[in-house]
Amino acid sequence: MTYKPPNGASGGAPPAGLAALRRANLSLVLRELRDHKSLSRAHIAEATGLHRATVSNLMAELLERRLVREVGVEHVGAVGRPRRAVALHGAHVGALGMEINVDYIAVHGTDLSGRILVERRVAYDAMGSGPDSAVRRLGLVAEEAVEAMRRAGASPAGIVVAVPGLVDVVRGVVTLAPNLYWHDLPLADQLSSLLSPLRVPVRVDNDANLAALAEYTSGVAAGTPYLVYLTGEVGVGGGIILGGELLRGADGFSGEVGHLQVDPNGAQCGCGRIGCWETKVGLAALVRAAMPEQAYGLPGMPVPDPGERVADLARGLASGDRRMTTAVAQVGEWLGLGGSILANLFNPRVIVIGGYFASLAQWLLPHAQDQLQRLVVAAPAAQCRFVASTLGFGAASRGAASMVVSDIIDDPTTIMDSSPRPVPH
Ligand SMILES: [Zn+2]
């Protein structure tokens, strides 16, 4: 059926049933447009099962709100008559993704159609700063990003922050982020109150999960339904996509692969346990073995951006530095060993390696792939390949921004009914 708002698009509260129907229909239409570049109204009606008249009405409302735009004509077949096509627009609607990690804060702001408005990474010693300073710094970086997006004409509808640790996404609490020394930190509430003048809702999620979503939607193995993503930071997290869905687990804590114990006689991990996988393959472990004079946590050392450390490593490896090549070969073998555990468990088609793993892939992967092939029990699992991410250190913040976009698409009325109509150009 067709829903026609009684007092124009934003006026009056429709009965609950009609409001839910309108919300669901708007969401259906926007989802189709997100998944395809541009579509005619007839195509949308076909794909969603909605009546043509319903689609036309919804489209009129979305056009008026500038959430979609006309993009010319779509020719169907040799004899089909041309149809006007529409695409996602929403240039005035912003989505801000952020990530805080051990040694940096990253932001990735887009509009509704995914156009990038702000993207940056700042070196920051989150490990040594404590949660209070870190949250304040996050707030400042968020304010700057929101300002930049507003200057570009987009008002952020939400902020999602990626954190390397266990996150209670419902309450917005970081239960445990071992490498940041955070416990039970109500990050969403704290950041919301810091940013209260901006009136932008804040959510928190796990960095690897968000990066896995970014890989699945726009990365090097996009669309691969069985995919594991590994963050290559000081800590190592995993995001697991099974059958095209993110595996969250009973409490949302799945994917903590960095804390698989791989060496009972190994070094102590940030989580307090011994011999976790990330003590073998995390960036801190590689730096300690390859260039100990730059190791993490040395007193008086300024914290460089991880990109700078990795560039130093790449230069050394390219020049054949023996200490570095030995260290990276060892890390590659441990990477393959852990990867084989994941391949035995989840049978993914690809393991996408992000962060520093991707930057050093040409040196790590030959060792990792050999180990993987040797240790996976099922022969066809040899089809499981390590693949270097092309999203680099920005994967989690990109995934965070796309989660804001998904939230809007799930319920577009949150932005349509709470804000005045944009002034047409
Ligand atoms: Zn651990």
What's the 270 CA to ligand 1 centre distance in angstroms? Answer: 6
- Rounded average pLDDT over 68-82: 73
User: For residue 136, what are its two tokens?
Assistant: 């304040």
- Where exactly are the structural domains of the chain? 16-88, 93-210+396-416, 221-390
Q: What angle do CA 31, 35, 39 make, to 5 degrees?
A: 85
What's the 412 CA to ligand 1 centre distance in angstroms? Answer: 40
With a pLDDT cut of 90, the percent of the chain lying above it is 76
What's the 264 CA to ligand 1 centre distance in angstroms? Answer: 12
Residue 77 confidence (pLDDT): 59
Q: Kindly state the greatest CA–CA separation across the chain.
A: 74
What's the 49 CA to ligand 1 centre distance in angstroms? Answer: 49
Statement: residue 356 has pLDDT above 90: yes
What's the 204 CA to ligand 1 centre distance in angstroms? Answer: 21
Residue 298 confidence (pLDDT): 77
What's the 276 CA to ligand 1 centre distance in angstroms? Answer: 5
**CB under 5 Å of ion ligand 1: residues:** 259, 269, 271, 273, 276
What's the 272 CA to ligand 1 centre distance in angstroms? Answer: 6
Cα(369)–Cα(365) distance, integer angstroms? 6
First to last CA, the chain: 32
25-56 burial, b for 16+ CB within 10 Å, e for fewer?
Answer: bbbbbbbbbbeeebbbbbbbbebbebeeebbe
- Rounded average pLDDT over 218-227: 94
Please state, in angstroms and as integers, the Cα–Cα distance from residue 335 to each residue in 36, 315, 326, 351, 399, following that order.
36, 21, 14, 11, 24
CATH placement of domain 93-210+396-416:
3.30.420.40
What's the 271 CA to ligand 1 centre distance in angstroms? Answer: 4
- Rounded average pLDDT over 299-317: 86
What's the 131 CA to ligand 1 centre distance in angstroms? Answer: 20
Q: What angle do CA 47, 50, 53 make, to 5 degrees?
A: 120
The beta-strand segments (E) located in 112-154 are 116-123
What's the 167 CA to ligand 1 centre distance in angstroms? Answer: 16
Cα(99)–Cα(122) distance, integer angstroms? 10
Q: Which residues make Cβ contacts (< 8 Å) with residue 211, sequence separation at least 6?
A: 162, 229, 231, 239, 354, 389, 391, 395, 396, 398, 399
- Rounded average pLDDT over 387-402: 94
Pairing of strands 68-74, 83-88: antiparallel
Cα(359)–Cα(304) distance, integer angstroms? 16
Please state, in angstroms and as integers, the Cα–Cα distance from residue 229 to each residue in 84, 143, 184, 342, following that order.
39, 30, 25, 10
What's the 346 CA to ligand 1 centre distance in angstroms? Answer: 21
What's the 236 CA to ligand 1 centre distance in angstroms? Answer: 9
Torsion of CA 298, 302, 308, 309, to 10 degrees: 0
What's the 185 CA to ligand 1 centre distance in angstroms? Answer: 19
Statement: residue 13 has pLDDT above 90: no
What's the 123 CA to ligand 1 centre distance in angstroms? Answer: 24
- Rounded average pLDDT over 229-257: 93
What's the 256 CA to ligand 1 centre distance in angstroms? Answer: 9
CATH placement of domain 16-88:
1.10.10.10
What's the 421 CA to ligand 1 centre distance in angstroms? Answer: 50
Q: What angle do CA 201, 28, 53 make, to 5 degrees?
A: 130
What's the 216 CA to ligand 1 centre distance in angstroms? Answer: 26
CATH placement of domain 221-390:
3.30.420.40
| pLDDT band, residue 380 (cuts 50/70/90) | low
User: For residue 157, what are its two tokens?
Assistant: 């509808």
Whether 221-390 and 93-210+396-416 are alike in CATH topology: the answer is: yes
Least confident of 18-22, 80-84, 306-310: 80-84
Cα(239)–Cα(206) distance, integer angstroms? 9
What's the 337 CA to ligand 1 centre distance in angstroms? Answer: 16
What's the 186 CA to ligand 1 centre distance in angstroms? Answer: 22
Element of type H or E holding 229: strand 227-230
Residue 10 confidence (pLDDT): 42
